[in-house]
Structure 1
């Protein structure tokens, strides 16, 4: 398998089918999708028939829950398929239309079931307790207990229906940003290190930032952010609308803040969020030390933001073709055992993965899918170490979903966001351990240590900086202040100054970086990259040191889905995220890796 020429992206129709995901495993055709779409509409009418009857008996509530699950699964399949088809090429109007129809239907579904929770909570407390204990509702015990826990934030049936009908409008900021960022925004062409034209794309930007030629890095950096700067008013208005939406929902549900509302869904204490920011800020001197080492190894008088991603080890040819990447990931994840390996090989051999970039394809990488069908992975693979680890990361998500779907009923299969990054990052940690074991060349070893340090910088430090930015912008709106482009740029610039320290020249262009981060439209999500990385660091060490007992605990965690609160699931796996210790421990590992890098740098000068 070879990478497509970087000069011109292929059209979707020209991509080798073997390098694309097989969405036919979900629906054999668009006509089959239409049939499922109709089924959802029929189930909507069926579930409406339970309105006002839920308190009659446990049997009636159980029957309603069965329809609820059937409708939820069908709706999930309808939406996921349409959106993933659109992600193949955002310019494809057919799948734009299918996605819009699916989104509208989803709002219709939300409206139809809006009576469910308020009606359950309207039961007298003793009656609800007796229902929860009833054998007919045994499969729904945790679900009903969770509803009861959030009782004070659930509104009347009529109010819940109004909020549900708002769903499509509430999605607008994220949808608008997605279309602007993935379909409409065109980045300029610059000269590469050979003087040839290369167009900047989302997928190529990091590759350009890793280019050893500093002029190429600077040109790409400036050109990308100049493009965003031209759209700063539009994107600021879009982000402002998204934050206002978050604040609106928090207030109508009687939460003290948008942050409290976001964390309550996973039953996560706010201290977990604030402790993370404090722990990272307390350990900023280690980041400053890293910046100083980077400046020294690159041999520059001033270190700029566009120097952050280029490997500190020069003249290392470390390209990783996709075929080799699959083999390395299999080898690196061998400590997880034969069962895990078997599923991984099935994924690699059965078109679960959409590999390369094409015109209009959604940028970045993700794992997604619908219950009852295997998970899928979207990549925009480039032949480098970063993309090798991205493959391992997304396969972590995919196999977490696979195990959860195969061991939990639909209602509990979806794991909470708080644990979502644990499996993916644990995979990366195990792969890094393997790569360091098999890499004897001192410069390649330094390259990997550099990459590992960058993982800490990007996943713990940088995502915590994002988390702090999110907290700040939500607080601004909660205080009645406007998020103007100037305000957003100023706050973001100052955070970069704080996080990178005195040896970093914080270029003016970086103040526009907030404008290109899609995660900001998914409120208070990014902090979980940092907490997940910390948990995964601990779990991977347990797997490597303890062997089978730790593997058994870990696989049990993957199979648990959303059947308990995430902090409880992680405790059973062997790590306590209610304590700041895992974050502090991860930052100790960062300091240890940094020390090894410093020593190795001295030895091979």
Structure 2
């Protein structure tokens, strides 16, 4: 376990605890050689300018070349970015990442003719191509997706200009990452006995879970004191993100940035608004939970730094990484032997980078590289870390199955379904833990953890989604996106979501400055919708016969072979209605009932 540890240098981490990045390229020099070779794709692709409508054979050649380019870029980008994330301070890997970005922009500029030319092919001519070249049928869905967006595609030259602006559009996210991960340093936090504890992105949540309230408050104030110092810079970076999203949305003739973002994933904007509306209609359970947490902790007022500490005392669950893997295998056993075999492969063959090291990117993620997925963790041995492990492996196996099952053109699933597989794993882990736990206090501890998942995912991510939408709307109205405006908005939402039992500390108003997902273009709402879908799916998997597992694995193997709403319907969940969200909140209420009964 890695609690209260000195953060090691990357070179001091055991090789068995690092991901097998050399599975992509054996050396940095091999990566450079592949980048040099891949640059020829720019000219190869450009040779098809003005020719996509000449014959079905030519069109097929171009689409197959596009697949080949996609695979090459996948390897180059994954190697560079994963290397950079190992230690964000290493300039060489920052430069490699920048080189890939520039290469992608060059490719996009060279192939800017693609979409306008595909739009211009007459429907009858395209049908003739399908008849003459049967192999083109593989691309029919992909071509239909492009052609349905005619109103938002510009001329060849205009598309080339937008592609050339792509590197600049990445700047807000890159600046945020450097500021947040490489430059920010937090003062140590002092506990009730005067002992110092390092505050980092990796240690912050474990510190927030400490029973020592003095330590929690000190860590909370240390973290947000640093963000407060950079609030104006952070506001300027976030404002730049909103402006670049608005620029691209307006240039492509979308009414709003929300329309632009969701159109690309074939998700109706009503689903976004339905989520916020449904949660607004069900604030009472959230406020009830905050009140229960305050009473169980015996506090006159609940502060923001009291949100993560377990309300059940004298229960501590910590795990080595080996124990975490064994628990994951048992909890996910209901998904069948095939799923279990892939999970073991991921554990044993270098998919995971386990522990925090100096300069390592904060948080956790899975990147679905074609060679195999890569999972970044910052494992500290807490129960949360076990949930993070199964969460990210859910992403990883989703990518693995989609890459294995679907042709290249359909192997990438859209972000709307991305969080379903991960949170379904979390729900299965929780149900497993509850099923094997007999001790009443430990059960209450676990239910509290389950309640925290609802708070942190269904409610908090919806609050993030509401904030993100509001800031985008500020940009659309031409209002100044200043630190004061952002802090006022964020604090107001915290008051609304947490209710009268919560003391909304002034420091939390700047929390928006540490959320990387605000640079992901309407990503966060999908944590909430994905969680609701995952609760429904995990219930079906545990309650039904093997048909539920079969449908679920078919969903995981689906990539983007159809739209995400249809994919989920095939697995048994209809996200076009508020029902999954309402049902999940109903379970939240039932868990509150049991929690009150257990601790009466």
- 3-state DSSP of counterpart to 1:377: strand
TM-score when normalising by structure 1:
0.98
Cα separation, 1, equivalents of 2:130 and 2:536: 36
- 3-state DSSP of counterpart to 2:574: coil
Structure 1 residues 22-421: aligned runs within 5 Å: 22-131=20-129, 135-371=134-370, 373-421=371-419
5+ long unaligned stretches in structure 1: none
Cα separation, 2, equivalents of 1:511 and 1:299: 25
| RMSD over equivalenced CA pairs, Å | 1.0
Counterpart position of 1:459? 457
How many residues align structurally? 599
- Give the C-alpha shift of residue 43 in structure 1: 1.4
Q: Out of 562, 565, 570, which is 1:564 matched to?
A: 562
- 3-state DSSP of counterpart to 1:203: coil
Cα separation, 2, equivalents of 1:343 and 1:125: 43
Structure 1 residues 406-555: aligned runs within 5 Å: 406-555=404-553
How big is each residue's C-alpha offset from its partner over 1:327-350, in whole Å with a ceiling of 9 and x where there is no partner? 000000000001110110111111
- 3-state DSSP of counterpart to 1:219: helix
CA distance change for structure 1 residues 10 and 489 in 2, over 3 Å: closer, same or farther? Answer: same
Q: Which moved more, 1:35-44 or 1:498-507?
A: 35-44
Cα separation, 2, equivalents of 1:52 and 1:519: 39
CA distance change for structure 1 residues 132 and 157 in 2, over 3 Å: closer, same or farther? Answer: farther
- Give the C-alpha shift of residue 151 in structure 1: 1.4
TM-score when normalising by structure 2:
0.99
- 3-state DSSP of counterpart to 2:500: coil
- Give the C-alpha shift of residue 150 in structure 1: 1.1
How big is each residue's C-alpha offset from its partner over 1:348-370, in whole Å with a ceiling of 9 and x where there is no partner? 11111000000000000000032
Q: Conserved in 2, the CA contact under 8 Å of 1:392 and 1:428?
A: yes
5+ long unaligned stretches in structure 2: none
- Give the C-alpha shift of residue 129 in structure 1: 4.2
Cα separation, 1, equivalents of 2:79 and 2:130: 35
How big is each residue's C-alpha offset from its partner over 1:76-135, in whole Å with a ceiling of 9 and x where there is no partner? 210111010000000111111111111111111111121111111122333234445652
Cα separation, 2, equivalents of 1:191 and 1:131: 71
Cα separation, 2, equivalents of 1:445 and 1:486: 43
Cα separation, 1, equivalents of 2:596 and 2:530: 27
How big is each residue's C-alpha offset from its partner over 1:471-503, in whole Å with a ceiling of 9 and x where there is no partner? 100001100101000000000000000000011
How big is each residue's C-alpha offset from its partner over 1:166-221, in whole Å with a ceiling of 9 and x where there is no partner? 01100000000000000011111121354321221001110111011111111111
Counterpart position of 1:592? 590
Q: Which moved more, 1:590-599 or 1:122-131?
A: 122-131
Q: Conserved in 2, the CA contact under 8 Å of 1:39 and 1:74?
A: no
Cα separation, 2, equivalents of 1:110 and 1:580: 38
Q: Conserved in 2, the CA contact under 8 Å of 1:318 and 1:444?
A: no
